[in-house]
């Protein structure tokens, strides 16, 4: 793999990479953002999570200068995105979720044109370096419309990096991407982060956010409902789930109710339409939430007394996906 050189020029003072203060945004009757405030330090790998309609894309549009906040202030590397828009945009690279491209140019021409937007001339050495690190060198002279979806997404990443921004926003970068590209993309992005770039990630693949992000903000209905280090966020909900494959007698009533409640929480349609509450998931396994390991043996003893035969057992710990679902449910209550 070719050596990647960041070659960034950062301010001497440790200003936040992104600073958001009481930002609101309204589209007609829709209040998309409701006083969002958060600060992202230089060098962070930060996750911005939320269900569809939470306001993530609106917030990214405001950070990128594509939409103007109704009130509040956003700064990128100390530059106000409204009053100092050119400086703010130079400090920021955004990889959009949608595959937006011009079908009339090759990959290299696309990157040269993007360089021109930032007033960069004779940028081919840097373009070659980006192409090499994104495994796009062999496609440099290919027309954009001839590329696969995964290759087009790599070009979007290259466009975001072509002006060497210290802050990179990735909006669903692996949506519809195959496993091989996903792994190579994350290896590259991790390296960028190690070398000083600030990374802001939005994704619906919560296992990616859990693995990559040191800190996470969760949005719902235009508000920040959780903001903490990833480990502390997961640690709020102790315990895990006992996953069982059983035969023989049915579950005792108390455990059946517990399993049905856990299944309904994860799949709200499980008992829809007045159907009897289900206790096992589509895979035939029963899931019983437990607060600690101390609960496991009494629970197994209860199953034995009821005549249940244990065929398989697995203990899963609370992960970010479970935490996300719980926080969203709590906010809806």
Residue 43: CATH number of its domain = 3.40.50.300
For the chain, the domain total comes to 2
| R_g (Cα) of the chain, nearest Å | 24
167 and 267 both lie in a single domain: no
Q: Does residue 78 sit in the same domain as residue 194?
A: yes
Domain identity same for 190 and 259 = no
Question: Do 183 and 138 form a contact (C-beta atoms < 8 A)?
Answer: no
Q: Are residues 79 and 27 in the same domain?
A: yes
Q: Would the pLDDT of 77 be above 70? A: yes
> Which of 188, 218, 235 delimits the end of a domain?
235
Question: pLDDT confidence of 331, banded at 50, 70, 90?
Answer: low
Q: Is the pLDDT of residue 333 over 60?
A: no
**Distance from chain centroid for Cα 277:** 33
User: Distance of alpha carbon 29 from its chain centroid, rounded?
Assistant: 28
Lowest mean pLDDT, pick from 25-39, 91-105, 174-188, 231-245: 174-188
Please indicate, yes or no, if residue 254 is contained in any of the structural domains. yes
330 in any annotated domain: no
Residue 199 has a pLDDT of 97
Q: Tokens 């249940």 belong to which residue?
A: 308
For residue 2, tell me if it sits in a domain: no
| pLDDT of amino acid 272 | 46
| Average confidence (pLDDT) over 96-102 | 81
What is the rounded average pLDDT for all residues in the chain?
87
Find out whether 40 and 17 touch, Cβ atoms under 8 Å: yes
Confidence of residue 183 (pLDDT cuts 50, 70, 90): confident
CB 50 within 8 A of CB 75: no
Residues 118 and 33 in one domain: yes
12 pLDDT more than 70: no
Angle (CA) 200-218-69 rounded to 5° is 70
Lowest mean pLDDT among 85-89, 217-221, 295-299: 295-299
The pLDDT, as a whole number, for residue 67 is 94
User: Is 90 exceeded by the pLDDT of residue 281?
Assistant: no
Q: Is 285 exposed, middle or buried (0-12, 13-18, 19+ CB in 10 A)?
A: middle
Mean pLDDT is highest, among 9-13, 130-134, 218-222, for 218-222
Q: Do 168 and 280 belong together in one domain?
A: no
pLDDT of residue 13: 52
What is the span of the domain harbouring residue 86?
A: 18-235
**Residue where a domain stops, chosen among 183, 200, 235:** 235
- Cα–Cα distance for residue pair 119/262, rounded to 1 Å: 56
4 belongs to a structural domain: no
> Mean pLDDT highest for which of 71-80, 124-133, 176-185?
71-80
Neighbouring residues of 26: CB distance < 8 A, sequence distance ≥ 6: 32, 70
- Please check whether residues 212 and 117 belong to one and the same domain: yes
Work out the pLDDT band at 185, boundaries 50, 70, 90. Answer: confident
Residues 222, 261: one domain?
no
Q: Examine residue 210 and state whether it is found in any structural domain, yes or no.
A: yes
Structure tokens belonging to residue 66:
């594509």
Nearest to 87 by CA among 165, 13, 32: 165
């Amino acid at each position: 793999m070719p050596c990647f050189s960041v070659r960034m020029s950062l301010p001497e003072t440790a200003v936040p990479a992104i600073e958001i203060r009481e930002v609101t945004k309204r589209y007609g009757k829709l209040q998309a953002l409701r006083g969002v405030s958060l600060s992202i330090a230089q060098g962070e790998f930060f996750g911005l999570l939320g269900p569809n309609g939470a306001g993530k894309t609106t917030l990214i549009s405001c950070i990128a200068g594509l939409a103007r906040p109704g009130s509040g202030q956003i700064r990128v590397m100390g530059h106000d995105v409204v009053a100092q828009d050119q400086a703010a945009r130079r400090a920021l690279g955004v990889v959009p979720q949608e595959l937006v491209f011009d079908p009339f140019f090759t990959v290299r021409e696309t990157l040269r044109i993007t360089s021109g937007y930032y007033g960069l001339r004779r940028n081919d050495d840097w373009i070659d370096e980006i192409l090499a690190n994104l495994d796009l060198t062999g496609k440099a002279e290919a027309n954009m419309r001839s590329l696969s979806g995964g290759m087009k997404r790599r070009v979007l990443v290259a466009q975001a990096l072509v002006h060497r921004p210290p802050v990179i926003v990735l909006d669903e970068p692996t949506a519809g991407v195959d496993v091989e590209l996903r792994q190579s993309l994350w290896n590259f992005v991790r390296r960028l982060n190690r070398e000083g770039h600030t990374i802001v990630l939005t994704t619906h693949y919560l296992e990616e956010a859990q693995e990559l992000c040191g800190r996470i903000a969760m949005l719902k209905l235009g508000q920040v409902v959780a903001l903490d280090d990833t480990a502390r966020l997961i640690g709020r909900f102790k315990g895990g789930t006992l996953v069982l494959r059983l035969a023989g007698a049915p579950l005792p009533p108390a455990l059946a109710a517990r399993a049905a409640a856990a299944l309904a929480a994860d799949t709200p349609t499980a008992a829809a339409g007045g159907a009897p509450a289900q206790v096992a998931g589509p895979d035939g396994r029963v899931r019983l939430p437990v607060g600690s390991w101390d609960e496991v043996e009494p629970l197994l003893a209860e199953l034995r007394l009821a005549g249940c035969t244990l065929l398989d057992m697995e203990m899963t710990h609370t992960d970010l996906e479970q935490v996300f679902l719980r926080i969203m449910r709590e906010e809806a209550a």
